[in-house]
């Protein structure tokens, strides 16, 4: 049910991972097309959307991998942790995002509360003046998030600083942390974002491509119909 402010997009995710563990989301394609926001009627001041997130991970879910997916043309893409009040999420929400394409996503790619999240070799494409899906930020560092980032590629028209790609949503004792190595923003090294480094290290072996090689690799392999079994 909608409220006075027209928040039509508060329910109905494409995929909800709720209280689950050891989940793998791989080689899927998610998009609003053909019913993009600019084609929807406006009621109560906002487009009458019939969806919320593309993929939300919440309520103490744990050990989740999101890999080689194509997310396109969407406003609120992915939450890891759905509420600042969900304190039981602390110590859980261990999630890896790798080799995903986020294409014209307005935000939440992902937005993290409490979680211990590893981001590597993801490719973000956006435009801060897009007519329907104006880029606000890519990675949201919310309450007590602990994010480690390696060799992601951000191609965001109009973005000039790390804070255009990585946004903080909490301060003081609730502030999250974000540490990056090797990522690029519009071809230049992603500058420090002013967040403290997380006090954890990635607990598994992985090999990250250089960020400059990420766009071609991800476009060739991410999304439905691109799974090659040998």
| Residues involved in catalysis | 108
Q: Residue 147, Cβ neighbours under 10 Å: how many? A: 27
How are beta strands 70-76 and 101-107 bridged, if at all? Answer: parallel
Q: Map residue 147 onto helix, strand or coil.
A: strand
Runs of H (alpha helix) within the chain: 162-165, 214-221
Can you spell out the DSSP letters for 55-109? EEEETT-EEEEEES-EEEEEEE--EESS-TT-GGGTT--EEEEES-EEEEEEE-S
């Amino acid at each position: 049910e909608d409220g006075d402010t027209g928040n039509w997009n508060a329910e109905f995710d494409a995929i909800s991972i709720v209280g689950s563990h050891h989940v793998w989301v791989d080689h899927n394609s998610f998009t609003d097309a053909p019913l993009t926001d600019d084609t929807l009627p406006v009621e109560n001041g906002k487009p009458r959307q019939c969806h919320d997130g593309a993929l939300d991970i919440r309520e103490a879910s744990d050990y989740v991998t999101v890999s080689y997916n194509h997310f396109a043309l969407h406003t609120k893409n992915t939450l890891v942790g759905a509420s600042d009040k969900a304190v039981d999420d602390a110590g859980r929400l261990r999630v890896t995002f790798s080799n995903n394409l986020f294409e014209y996503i307005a935000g939440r790619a992902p937005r993290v509360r409490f979680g211990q999240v590893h981001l590597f070799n993801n490719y973000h494409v956006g435009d801060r003046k897009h007519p329907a899906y104006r880029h606000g930020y890519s990675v949201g560092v919310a309450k007590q998030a602990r994010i480690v980032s390696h060799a992601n590629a951000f191609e965001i028209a109009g973005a000039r600083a790390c804070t255009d790609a990585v946004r903080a949503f909490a301060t003081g004792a609730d502030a999250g942390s974000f540490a990056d190595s090797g990522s690029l923003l519009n071809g230049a090294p992603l500058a420090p974002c002013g967040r403290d480094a997380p006090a954890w290290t990635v607990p598994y072996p992985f090999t990250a491509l250089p960020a400059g090689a990420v766009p071609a690799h991800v476009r060739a392999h991410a999304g439905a119909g691109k799974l090659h079994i040998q």
